[in-house]
Every structure is written in C-alpha cells, then in structure tokens.
Chains A and B, each alone.
Chain A
Amino acid sequence: MLKERKADFSSMVEPDRVRKEVYTDQQIFELEMERIHETVWIYCGHESQVPKAGDYATVQIGRQPMILVRGNNGKVNVLYNRCPHRGNMLCGDRKGNTGEFFRCSYHAWTFHHDGKLKNIPMKAAYEGTRYGKDNPDCNVKKAARVQNYRGFVFASLAEDGPTLKEFLGKSIVAFDDMCDRAPAGEVEVVPNCFRVIQHSNWKLFLENQLDALHPSVVHQSTGRAAHEVEKILARKAKGGAAPLSYHMLSAFATVTIDKWDDFQTINYPYGHCILTGYMGLRPQDPDTLAYDKVMIKAYGRKRFEKIVGVNIHHVLVYPGLSVQSPLQQLRAVRPLGVDRTLTEIWHFRLKGAPEAIYRRSLAYYNLVNSPATLINADDLENFWKCHQGLASDGGDWVSLGRHHGRDIEKDGTVSSGPRMGTSEAPMRNQMKAWAKYMQP
C-alpha cells in the first residue's frame, strides 16, 4: 500500500496535514537521504575547523561518510571517506591532521589532499592493469560540488542543481548576520562540538526550531526556575541586574504563551525559515556599550546600526542546519536512521569583539546547548514521545493547521500573519518543500 502511495508524495502532504509515515517509514527515509540530503547543499563545517594543511574533520552527508580537509594549497576539499582500492575508510577519527597526504591503514595507498592518487606500494604489481594514476577511479571520490560562504563550507553530492547562494536565498542572512556582528567581519569556530542523539525522525527537530507555541509549554520549568534565581540576584545587586545568562533562560517563562504571537516567522523556498528576535539582546550594560564602540569604529555608525538592527532569533536552513546568529550558535542535524538523529552543536567567536561578548555566546552554549542542557532536555523528551506516537496506529495524519489560510504569501515568501507568530506556517512550508524534493 505504502509503495503505491510513495509514487505520489504529494498525496502524503496536504496543505494543512501530513501522513505519519513521512516520519516513520524506513523506505521513505532512504529516499529522503537520496533525494534531499545527498542532493542539496549540506553544511560540512567551518573552515577554521581545519586551519592548517592536512587538518581534517569527518562529517556525514546523508548516509555518506565524508572528509573535510585542508589541502597544501590552502583549499578546503570535501572527499568521500573511502579508499578506492578496497573501500576502507581513510579517516577513522572525528578530526586530526593527516600530514602531507592520506595513507590508507589497510594497504598503504596514498592520496593527496584533493583525493588524487599519490602512490601504491610495489606498484609494479599493477603494470598492464587498468589501475594507476591515469585512472580517475583510483582517486578518492570528491563531493560533486563544494562552496564556501564566509567561511561556512557546504557540499552537494549532486552535479547539478542551484548554486549555494541560489539555494540559501534569503536564509543566507544566518551567516551574514553572524559574521557582520564581528568587528573583523568574520567568525572563528570554538573547537568543541557537543553531540547529542535524539530518538526521533530528523524532521521533528527542524519543525520544533520555529515552533513558537512550544517554548512556554515545554520550557516553563527552566524558565520559572531561572526567573526565581534571577529575581534574587537582581535584589542582591541593588538596582543592578542579574547576569544576562539568567535572562536567556527566564525568557522562556517571562515571554508568556500569548506573547509568542507577536513574533513572526518568514518562510522561504527550499524549506528555509526565519523566526524574528525576542530576547532583547541589546541591553545598555557596559559590555554591550564597549562592543558597540568597537563596532562603530570598524563599520561607521550607519552601517553599525543596520547590523545590530537585524532582528533574528533563529534561522533554519533546510534540511539540517539551525543557526542562532545573534548568539553565534550553530546546530547541524545528521540523520542516523528513521528514528535516530544526531545534532552537532558549535559556537563561534566574533573576530575582533571584546571577550565579554564571547562570554555571552558561551553562556548560551553551555546552558542551552551542552549535553547537560536545561532547555533541550525537554525537547528531546518530546521528540521521543512524538516519534513513539507517530509510529502507532492511533491516527494517520499529523495536523499542521494552526492559522492555516492566514499566511501572507508574496514572491514565494510566506510570512505568518500579523500577531500570528505561533502559526504552523514553518511546518507547512517545510513539508511543501519536502514534497517537492521527494517528487522525482
């Protein structure tokens, strides 16, 4: 039955609801990997992760194990983590330095950083065969396309398709907003990756990112707890304020459920989406003022106002990247299976910004995004429960009908209506894009 239905994915996605199999069916998952993750532009890493020649990091694109590696010529390459000889993975670690070249741990074939065959031990054994430097099949296969935008490296495993810039469209603001907030105009990765596994389909994570109805339901406990302590600290500070990190947590309670409608989601082609800002991260404390000064010096007042005036909480780059540009956080979503998903969580330093501004981003990274997170813990619990429920026979459809019919569409961009920030427009937009990707 499912096989027949799969021939027509559009029948699985209606404007305001989705079939549950979209989240739970193994065959659909395999097709998603093929038609979405192994086709579109996927974030591989930041170039500052691999500063020196030979530095590498391994990364998963869909089901494909890949290597991000800096070449001797300074260029960052993305290769399949597979020796063309007998198929061994070339890198077994998550990161490292491979030296002047890759050397396979099985039969010592060696390869340049761009994947080209360098040498085969006792190569006379291959005389008169089809194997050798003249045969491109003896090189490590490269990702079909690799592009770097302001230090963020993406790869596509498909030869054809939109350019990275065309694909990102307006969601490119994720990287512009992050980099522009650095007085030097660029960011540098902090070399630590928190990795957390969730027991659910990858799409549940993406849908949750811009779900403005959930925070005050799901994160109430942490918001309340932080607000209690924040009040005590503010009293102790006698007119001063508690550290901003408490506000980052208490906002989940102080921004009450009805207030979430004041924000807006803006949805783009290919499934990308923006949630406008809510945290009020422009206080007038000495740290912020010192930062403003450095920024004005770097950019001039007019440009500075424009940069810090960008009002974004969160950008979702479909199908696997969630960027909180004002706090320099980035989460990459790597599907491991139909019901298992890995998130890799990074944060960045704004080059040229005072240390105190970095500490702000660090506080968020530790409190919200670490493996001891006070926030995502309850999301992960819901993702698991959601997947369990979806896998049941208790219903066939997932409803995405909140404020359906009231979205504002203009030139392919769909915004949630006025005072409808909790609209399920982002999920509808993601599923619309999904059906388009999936239809061959």
Chain B
Amino acid sequence: MKDHYEVEQFLYKQSEFLDTKQWQKWIDLFTPDGVYWMPPDASYKTWEGQPAIFAEDQNLMTVRMLRVLHPDAWSQRPLWETNHLVSNVSIVKTNKNGDLEVKSRFHMMELRRDDVRHFAGSYFHKLKKTKKGYAIQLQRVDMTNAQAAYDYVLQVWV
C-alpha cells in the first residue's frame, strides 16, 4: 500500500512538472540512462533501432527544453497549456531492491491558441528506487491515437 501511494504521488508530480512547464525538474526525474519513449504503435517492444515519435535520453530532452525556452521557438509563442490527469495506477512488478514496474492511464487536454486537443493513452514506467525517491528508467507512452494523423505536432512530452 505504501509503495502504491508513493508511486501515485510520483506520477502526479511528473505530470504536474509538465503542466507547470518545469522542464528541468521533469528531466531530473530520470536516471542518467533513463529514456522517454513514445512508440508509433503498441506492438513495438523496444525503442532502439526503429521509428519512434519520441525516443529521448536526458541529452535529447535538454535539446527539446532549450528549444522550447528559446524566444524564437515560433510555434511555442502563442498561448499554449496542457492539463494531465493520471489514473488507473497499478504496480505490475516489484523487484527485491524496490524497483517497480507500473502501469497507468492518462488523459491530456492541450490548448493551443483557441483550439483544444485531447490525447489519451497509457504509461508504462520502470522506476528505480533511490535514496531521493523514485527515478524513471523508462517512461513508455502509448497514445491511443498514435497511429492517427497529427493535426499539428507535439512539442513537449506527454
């Protein structure tokens, strides 16, 4: 129960960092070898060596962050906000050392100028237990609409 509570709090925190645009804090949630991965299709088993919507380590995350923060990131200039809801959290595996594998579902609403878009799907997290709390080794994001055409694109992590 304690694990479950802590994991939920952790997942809420990571989506709060995204929604409040605290990019560096969000990146710091990952282990040094951690990967954020959004496959184009649910059938994909690994992020390596095949197409990915996102497949980023902390270095590439930093590129994305610096770009978004740049004053001439034109597409990010207009009004733009997100709101994540995370739910259906279940721990699917607990390792002896306290590392966890966790599944959850999310719904993200995005406002861009006057338009609202909705993205939904599932998260799969590999979490490492550290002295400072959990750290993300892998965040896999399967979007329900991953295969649909993208009306405009995604500019930050979901």
Q: Which of B3-11, B122-130, B146-154 contacts A (4 or more CB under 8 A)?
A: B146-154
Residues on A with beta carbons closer than 8 Å to the beta carbon of B148: 195
- CB A168 to nearest CB in B, in angstroms, measures 28
Task: Please judge, given known A-B contacts A372-B153, A377-B155, whether A222 and B63 are in contact too, CB under 8 Å.
Answer: yes
Give residues of chain B (100-146) contacting chain A, Cβ–Cβ below 8 Å: none
Task: Please judge, given known A-B contacts A196-B150, A197-B149, whether A221 and B49 are in contact too, CB under 8 Å.
Answer: no
Instruction: Pick the residue among A224, A367, A371 that contacts B150 (CB under 8 A).
Output: A371
- State whether B75 touches A370 (Cβ < 8 A): no
Number of A-B contacts (CB under 8 A): 107
CA distance in complex: A362, B152 (Å): 21
Task: Look across to chain A and name the residue whose beta carbon is closest to the beta carbon of B78.
Answer: A381
CA distance in complex: A222, B64 (Å): 8
Task: Please judge, given known A-B contacts A372-B38, A380-B75, whether A197 and B151 are in contact too, CB under 8 Å.
Answer: yes
- CB B36 to nearest CB in A, in angstroms, measures 10
- State whether B67 touches A222 (Cβ < 8 A): yes
Residues on A with beta carbons closer than 8 Å to the beta carbon of B53: 194, 366, 370-372
What are the interface flags for A354-378 relative to B under an 8 Å C-beta threshold, 1 for contact and 0 otherwise? 0100110010011100111110111
Give residues of chain B (65-94) contacting chain A, Cβ–Cβ below 8 Å: 65-67, 70-75
Residues on B with beta carbons closer than 8 Å to the beta carbon of A224: 66-67, 70
- State whether B40 touches A194 (Cβ < 8 A): yes
- State whether B72 touches A374 (Cβ < 8 A): no
CA distance in complex: A382, B59 (Å): 27
| B51 interfacial contact with A, CB 8 Å | yes
- State whether A377 touches B153 (Cβ < 8 A): yes
Task: Please judge, given known A-B contacts A195-B150, A366-B51, whether A221 and B155 are in contact too, CB under 8 Å.
Answer: no
Instruction: Pick the residue among A195, A229, A367, A372 that contacts B149 (CB under 8 A).
Output: A195
Task: Look across to chain B and name the residue whose beta carbon is closest to the beta carbon of A342.
Answer: B149
Task: Look across to chain A and name the residue whose beta carbon is closest to the beta carbon of B64.
Answer: A374
| A249 interfacial contact with B, CB 8 Å | yes
What are the interface flags for A204-240 relative to B under an 8 Å C-beta threshold, 1 for contact and 0 otherwise? 0000000000000010111011101100110000000
| B95 interfacial contact with A, CB 8 Å | no
- State whether B70 touches A220 (Cβ < 8 A): yes
Give residues of chain A (314-356) contacting chain B, Cβ–Cβ below 8 Å: 342, 347, 355
Task: Look across to chain B and name the residue whose beta carbon is closest to the beta carbon of A374.
Answer: B67
- State whether B64 touches A373 (Cβ < 8 A): no
Q: Please list the residues of chain B having a beta carbon within 8 angstroms of any beta carbon in chain A.
A: 38, 40-41, 49-55, 59-60, 62-67, 70-75, 148-155
Query: Shortest 7 CB-CB distances between A and B: which pairs?
Result: A225-B66, A221-B70, A381-B75, A195-B149, A371-B150, A225-B67, A221-B73
Q: Please list the residues of chain A having a beta carbon within 8 angstroms of any beta carbon in chain B.
A: 190, 192, 194-199, 218, 220-222, 224-226, 228-229, 232-233, 246, 249, 342, 347, 355, 358-359, 362, 365-367, 370-374, 376-378, 380-382
